[in-house]
C-alpha cells in the first residue's frame, strides 16, 4: 500500500521531488522537482493543455505575468478576503489553521494530556508580498499572485480583440501561484509555491446556461483524471458548504482523492458569476462587457472555472500508481504520464558487440518523438535494471542479447505483465509507438 512515507522516500531516492533548498536546511513549503519529477509534471501539464486547449475550438490559452498591478488584488477581493482563520497554541505558540480539525487534534495530543488553550481565530492573509523598484526607499509593494485566475480576467478584452472567440469560450492557463500557508504539509500537498492548471470559461449571464456549462466542465475534468489512469473508486465530488465557499463563488465543487491522509481536494470547479469582470470594471474604469452580435445584447459574462493543482495531481498520480508486488515496486502510471517511455539495455555491458548494437537501437528510438525520452542502462544485471525501471514507471524495456546479433530481433518487456516478446529491430519503433498510444 502507498503510505506517504513510501512516496516521499521513492520521490527523493529516484529524483522525482526533493525538499527545496535542502543543503541550507530547507525552506518550509517549497519543493524542487528532480529529473523524473519535471518530466512527470510536464506530462501532466501537456495532457491538460492538449485536452483542454489545443483540441478545442472554443478554448485558447494565455501565459500572464506572475507580478501584477496591486490594484488587481484589491479588485479581486484577495487583499480583503483571501484569508484563513489562524489560532495560536497558548502553550507552545505554534500557529495553526483553526478550520483544520485533524491538525488541531494532533497538536493537542502532542501536549500529552496537558490542557491546550487556543487564542481566538484571527484572519490571516495568504498573499505573499514582494517589493519592486530600484531605489530602496521607493520600493513599491506587489504581491506574488495567490491564484493564476486574475491574469486571465484582466486580459478578457485583449483576448476578445485579438481573436475570433465568441461566448461561450474559454481561456486556459498554467502557472505558478504562491500562498503564505499557515501549515504547509503532507509533502507537496500544501505548499507555499505551487502550480495551477486552469480554465476560465465565459458564458452568458443566465443561471440556466451557466449551470449547463458548469455540469459539463465538472464531468470533463473528472473524466480527464480517469482517462489518465486514476482509479475511479478513489475519486469523488464534494460540494462546498455555503460557509466554505470563496468570496467570489456562487457554487463550488471539489474533485477529491482518497489519499493516505484522507479525502483531499486537488481540483475545484467554481461558478464565479460575474464577480471578477464586474470588479475589474469597477476598479479599472475600463468597460469589461461583451457585445453579443447575434442578439444585440451587451453584458458582463459569467465565469465557470476549473482550477486544478499540478503538484497535487502529480502527488495523487504517484500515490495512485504505486503498487507493491512480490519482488518489486511498480509505478503503474499511464504511459502518457510516465517520465521515461522506453529503456534500452545491452544484456551484458562487457560485450562490445552487444553494446554497439544496443547503442544503435537507442539511437534509432531516440529519433522518434512519441517515444522520448528513452533511457539507457548498462549497470548491474537485467533483473536489477527491470526493478529500477518498474519503480519509476517505465512502460517498456528493450534488451539486446546474443540472438539479436543473429536475427536482428530484440525483446520488449511489458512493465505491467512482465511478459516479453521478440520483435524485429526494423519494426521496433512502430510497435512501441502503437503500444504507447
Ligand atoms: P485548500 O482548501 O486545500 O487550501 P483551496 O480551496 O484554497 O485549497 P483553490 O483556491 O480552489 O484551493 O485552488 C485550486 C487548486 O490549487 C486546489 O484544488 C489545489 O490543487 C491547488 N492548490 C491550492 N492551494 C495549494 C497549496 N497550498 N499547495 C498546493 N496546491 C494548492
* ∠ CA 428-434-437, rounded to 5°: 140
Strand-pairing partners, residue 84, are 124
pLDDT one-digit tens code per residue, 153-212: 999 999 999 999 999 999 999 999 999 999 899 999 999 999 999 999 999 999 999 999
Give 125 Cα–ligand 1 centroid separation in angstroms: 15
Closest residue by CA, ligand 1 atom 22 = 309
Question: Cβ < 6 Å from ligand 1: which residues?
Answer: 147, 179, 181, 190-191, 194, 196, 265-268, 307-309, 311-312
As given in the structure block, the three cell numbers for residue 81 are 478576503
What CA–CA distance (Å, rounded) separates 68 from 63? 13
The mean pLDDT value for 240-246 works out to: 85
CA of 351 to the centre of ligand 1 (A): 53
Among 33-37, 97-101, 117-121, 340-344, which stretch is predicted with the lowest mean pLDDT?
Answer: 97-101
Question: Between residues 101 and 423, which one has the greater pLDDT?
Answer: 423
Q: What's the pLDDT score for residue 267?
A: 98
Taking CB atoms within 8 Å and a gap of at least 24, the contacts of 162-167 are 163/60, 165/58, 165/60, 166/292, 166/293, 167/202, 167/203, 167/204, 167/290, 167/292, 167/301
For the cut 90, the answer to whether the pLDDT of residue 247 exceeds it is no
The ligand 1 atom nearest the CA atom of 252: 11
The pLDDT score that the predictor gives to residue 396 is 98
Proportion of the chain above pLDDT 70, given as a percent: 99
Q: Specify the residue with its C-alpha closest to ligand 1, atom 3.
A: 265
Which residue of 84, 312, 313, 314 sits with most ligand 1 atoms within 8 Å of its CB, as the best mutation to test the pocket?
312
Mean pLDDT over residues 417-433, rounded? 97
What is the DSSP secondary-structure string of 184-203?
A: -BTTTTB-SEEEEEEEEEEE
Q: What pLDDT was estimated at residue 152?
A: 98
Q: Which atom of ligand 1 is nearest to the CA of 310?
A: 20
Q: How far is the CA of 276 from the centre of ligand 1 (A)?
A: 19
pLDDT at 244: 81
Tally of CB atoms within 10 A around 325: 9
Which is nearest to 414 in space by CA: 384, 393, 437?
Answer: 393
Residues with Cβ within 8 Å of residue 237, at least 6 apart in sequence: 218, 222, 253, 254, 255, 256
CA of 18 to the centre of ligand 1 (A): 21
CA of 346 to the centre of ligand 1 (A): 45
Per-residue confidence (pLDDT) for residue 31, from 0 to 100: 98
Q: Whose CA is nearest to atom 25 of ligand 1?
A: 190
Q: Residue 138: which pLDDT band, with cuts at 50, 70 and 90?
A: low
In this structure, what C-alpha cell is assigned to residue 433?
509507438
Question: DSSP of 21-81, one letter per residue?
Answer: TGGGT--TT-EEE-HHHHHHHHHHHHHHIIIIIIT-TTEEE----SB--THHHHHTTHHHH
- What spacing in Å lies between the alpha carbon of 207 and ligand 1's midpoint? 26
Residue minimizing CA distance to atom 30 of ligand 1? 309
Ligand 1 centre distance from Cα of residue 75 (Å): 21
> Which pLDDT score, from 0 to 100, does residue 166 have?
96
Distance between start and end Cα atoms, the chain: 28
CA of residue 309 to ligand 1 center, whole Å: 7
Q: Which residues face 413 on adjacent strands?
A: 397, 420
Determine the atom of ligand 1 nearest the C-alpha atom of 184.
27
**CA pair distance 96, 212, nearest whole angstrom:** 39
Which of 194, 240, 246, 272 has most ligand 1 atoms within 8 Å of CB, for mutation?
194
The dihedral through the CA atoms of 56, 205, 307, 263 has a sign that is negative
How high does pLDDT run on average in the chain? 95
d(CA 47, CA 105): 39
Share of residues in the chain with pLDDT > 90 (%) = 85
pLDDT band at 93 (very low <50, low <70, confident <90, very high): confident
320 or 99: which leads in pLDDT: 320
**264 alpha carbon – ligand 1 mean position (Å):** 10
pLDDT value, residue 7 = 98
For 289-331, the pLDDT digits (tens) are: 999 998 999 999 999 999 999 999 999 999 999 999 999 999 9
Give Cα separations from 397 to 137, 321, 323 (angstroms): 60, 18, 19
Grouping H, G, I as helix, E, B as strand and the rest as coil, residue 386 is helix
Q: Which of 199, 309, 314, 316 to mutate to test the pocket of ligand 1 (most atoms within 8 A of CB)?
A: 309
Q: What is the pTM assigned to this prediction?
A: 0.94
Banded model confidence at residue 50, pLDDT cuts 50, 70, 90: very high
| Residue bearing the bigger pLDDT, 148 or 1 | 148
Rounded Cα–Cα distance for residues 387 and 345 (Å): 13
pLDDT at 346: 98
C-beta separation of 96 from 89 below 8 A? yes
| 421 class by beta-carbon count within 10 Å (0-12 exposed, 13-18 middle, 19+ buried) | exposed
Ligand 1: residue whose CA is nearest its atom 20: 309
Which atom of ligand 1 lies nearest, measured to the CA of 309?
Answer: 20
| Residue bearing the CA closest to ligand 1, atom 7 | 246
Write the residue with the smallest CA distance to atom 1 of ligand 1. 265
Length of the chain in terms of residues written = 437
| pLDDT tens track for 354-384 | 999 999 999 999 999 999 999 999 999 999 9
- In the three-class reduction of DSSP (H, G, I as helix; E, B as strand; rest coil), residue 196 is classed as strand
pLDDT band at 94 (very low <50, low <70, confident <90, very high): confident
Question: Which tens digits make up the pLDDT trace of 263-277?
Answer: 999 999 999 999 999
286 C-alpha to ligand 1 centroid (Å): 30
For the beta carbon of residue 362, count every other beta carbon within 10 angstroms: 19
Nearest-CA residue for atom 24 of ligand 1: 190
Identify the pLDDT of residue 286: 96
Amino acid at each position: 500500500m502507498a503510505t506517504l512515507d513510501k512516496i516521499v522516500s521513492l520521490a527523493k531516492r529516484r529524483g522525482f521531488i526533493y525538499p527545496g533548498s535542502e543543503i541550507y536546511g530547507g525552506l518550509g513549503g517549497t519543493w524542487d522537482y528532480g529529473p523524473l519529477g519535471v518530466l512527470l509534471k510536464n506530462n501532466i501539464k501537456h495532457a491538460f493543455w492538449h485536452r483542454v486547449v489545443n483540441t478545442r475550438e472554443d478554448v485558447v490559452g494565455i501565459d500572464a505575468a506572475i507580478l501584477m498591478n496591486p490594484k488587481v488584488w484589491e479588485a479581486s477581493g484577495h487583499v480583503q478576503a483571501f484569508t484563513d482563520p489562524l489560532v495560536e497554541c497558548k502553550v507552545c505558540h505554534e500557529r495553526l489553521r483553526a478550520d483544520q480539525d485533524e491538525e488541531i487534534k494532533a497538536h493537542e495530543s502532542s501536549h500529552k494530556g496537558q490542557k491546550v488553550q487556543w487564542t481566538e481565530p484571527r484572519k490571516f492573509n495568504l498573499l505573499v508580498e514582494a517589493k519592486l523598484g530600484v531605489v530602496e526607499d521607493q520600493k513599491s509593494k506587489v504581491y506574488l499572485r495567490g491564484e493564476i485566475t486574475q491574469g486571465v480576467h484582466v486580459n478578457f478584452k485583449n483576448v476578445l480583440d485579438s481573436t475570433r472567440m465568441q461566448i461561450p469560450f474559454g481561456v486556459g492557463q498554467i502557472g505558478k501561484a504562491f500562498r503564505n500557508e499557515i501549515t504547509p504539509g503532507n509533502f507537496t500537498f500544501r505548499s507555499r509555491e505551487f502550480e495551477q492548471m486552469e480554465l476560465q470559461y465565459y458564458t452568458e449571464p443566465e443561471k440556466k446556461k451557466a449551470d449547463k456549462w458548469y455540469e459539463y466542465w465538472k464531468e470533463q475534468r473528472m473524466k480527464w483524471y480517469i482517462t489518465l489512469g486514476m482509479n475511479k473508486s478513489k475519486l469523488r465530488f464534494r460540494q462546498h458548504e455555503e460557509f466554505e465557499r470563496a468570496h467570489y463563488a456562487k457554487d463550488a465543487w471539489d474533485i477529491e482523492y482518497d489519499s493516505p491522509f484522507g479525502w483531499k481536494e486537488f481540483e475545484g470547479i467554481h461558478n464565479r458569476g460575474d464577480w471578477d469582470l464586474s470588479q475589474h470594471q469597477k476598479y479599472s474604469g475600463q468597460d469589461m462587457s461583451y457585445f453579443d452580435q447575434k442578439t444585440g445584447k451587451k453584458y458582463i459574462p459569467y465565469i465557470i472555472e476549473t482550477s486544478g493543482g499540478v503538484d497535487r495531481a502529480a502527488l495523487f498520480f504517484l500515490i495512485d500508481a504505486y503498487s507493491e508486488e512480490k519482488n518489486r515496486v511498480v509505478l503503474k502510471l499511464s504511459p502518457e504520464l510516465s517520465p521515461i517511455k522506453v529503456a534500452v539495455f545491452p544484456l551484458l555491458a562487457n560485450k562490445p558487440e552487444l553494446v554497439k548494437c544496443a547503442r544503435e537501437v537507442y539511437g534509432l528510438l531516440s529519433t522518434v518523438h512519441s517515444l522520448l525520452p528513452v533511457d539507457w542502462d548498462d549497470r548491474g544485471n537485467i533483473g536489477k535494471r527491470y526493478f529500477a525501471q518498474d519503480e519509476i514507471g517505465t512502460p517498456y524495456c528493450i534488451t539486446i542479447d546474443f540472438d539479436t546479433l543473429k536475427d536482428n530481433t530484440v525483446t520488449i518487456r511489458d512493465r505491467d505483465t512482465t511478459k516479453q516478446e521478440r520483435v524485429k529491430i526494423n519494426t521496433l519503433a512502430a510497435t512501441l509507438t502503437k503500444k504507447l498510444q
